[in-house]
Amino acid sequence: DKEQIDEETNTVGEHNHSQEPPTTKIVTKYKSPYEQQLEQQKLAAQREEEASRLRDHQEALHHERLQEQLHRQQQLQERELMLRRQAEQDEEQFKQQLSQQSHYDNVDQDIVQGGEGGVHEEDENYERHNQHPRRVDDDDQN
């Protein structure tokens, strides 16, 4: 068989020389069934190794994506917590301002009412004070 393959290769090569310019000859080496089996096993091992590398790479990418997603979720949660705390602080500050404003408004109202009340009291005191002499004067005149 080996001699026959070599002869066919040589014949094809000689035939090519007569028709076309010389090209690279493809020499097929005869391999025993054992050599073929070893080669197949070697190719299978290479394919398995490549498949294993591909799986490892895909797992690493998947793990990386999960880590990135987890990191994004943590950032969003931290941001949400920060915004919630800020809103609570703003609300508390607003309540304090509202309470202070209400207190100032009440003080102002008390001053206004007290002032008006004081004016009424002063008017009443003035009238009483001034009425007594008039009564006395009125009594003296009668």
Q: Rounded to an integer, what distance in angstroms lies between the CA atom of residue 120 and that of residue 126?
A: 10
DSSP label at residue 20: S
- pTM higher than 0.75: no
Rounded CA-CA distance 31/25 in Å is 18
Residue 101: both structure tokens together: 């404003």
Q: What are the pLDDT tens digits along the chain (142 aa)?
A: 555 555 555 554 455 455 666 667 676 788 899 999 999 999 999 999 999 999 999 999 999 999 999 999 999 999 999 999 999 999 999 999 988 888 888 887 878 777 555 555 556 666 666 665 555 555 555 4
Boundaries of every domain in the chain: 33-107
**27 near 12, Cβ under 8 Å?**
no
- HSE-CB at 113 with a 13 A cutoff on CA atoms is 6
Separation CA 57–CA 52 (nearest Å): 8
